[in-house]
Structure 1
């Protein structure tokens, strides 16, 4: 399975991860996010842009501001990739156990 690593790269930054985790809890505006974080509003906006570019959040216009939500499509892509890695890892583990059992017999 091919995977676009933008999601993982976007979440590598600790502040950006905090922004994402706040949005996971509930949709929020830039102003709400800024009040919850020790960074400026322009910094929050830059982090949101990176998260949007990685398809992890989406903006919904509400009046003069945007409210940010998790983007289920981008998150689904990342989850599918992680699930495939996990499935491959479990398969390799099962093969190693079977080889170990066969070697003992």
Structure 2
């Protein structure tokens, strides 16, 4: 199952959103969706784990799940392609910035030259 199929399910999306705040146990994740049974949450977690979107570590009798954001990169790339590019900034909007940069550069040169004159005196 690819990342697109994984996030197509609303329960799995909710589990991923819960994991973005940090690692959680299966029981803690089951409490995020009280309308879904614990066995169903476990099945969803298995799908997420097999798709590589989450990883799990056994800690005693508990299994702790954490998000693997890098596995969501194909989805992020696809969504970024759907986002229209920002409109170009008109050149005249940057005129003020150019003027400020030139003024600051000139002030720094003047201050630097004055400091060198004081040192040599």
Q: Which TM class, normalised by the smaller chain length?
A: 0.5 to 0.7
SS at match of 1:50: helix
Q: Which runs of 5+ in 2 are unaligned?
A: 89-121
Aligned residue for 2:8?
Answer: 12
Aligned residue for 1:42?
Answer: 39
Q: Which runs of 5+ in 1 are unaligned?
A: 95-105
Quote the RMSD (CA, aligned, Å): 2.5
For 2:82 and 2:11, how far apart are their aligned partners in 1?
A: 27
Runs of 4+ in 1 over 2 A off after TM superposition: 75-83
TM-score (norm. length: structure 2): 0.59
For 2:65 and 2:76, how far apart are their aligned partners in 1?
A: 20
TM-score (norm. length: structure 1): 0.67
Aligned residue for 1:103?
Answer: none
Whether the 8 Å contact between 1:7 and 1:54 is mirrored in structure 2 is yes
For 1:71 and 1:7, how far apart are their aligned partners in 2?
A: 12
Aligned length in residues? 87
Structure 1 residue 64 corresponds to structure 2 residue 31 = no
> Who wins on radius of gyration, i.e. which is larger?
2
Superposed displacement of residue 13, structure 1: 0.7
Show CA shifts across 1:32-75 (max 9, x none).
11122121111011111111122111101211111110113312
Whether the 8 Å contact between 1:55 and 1:75 is mirrored in structure 2 is no
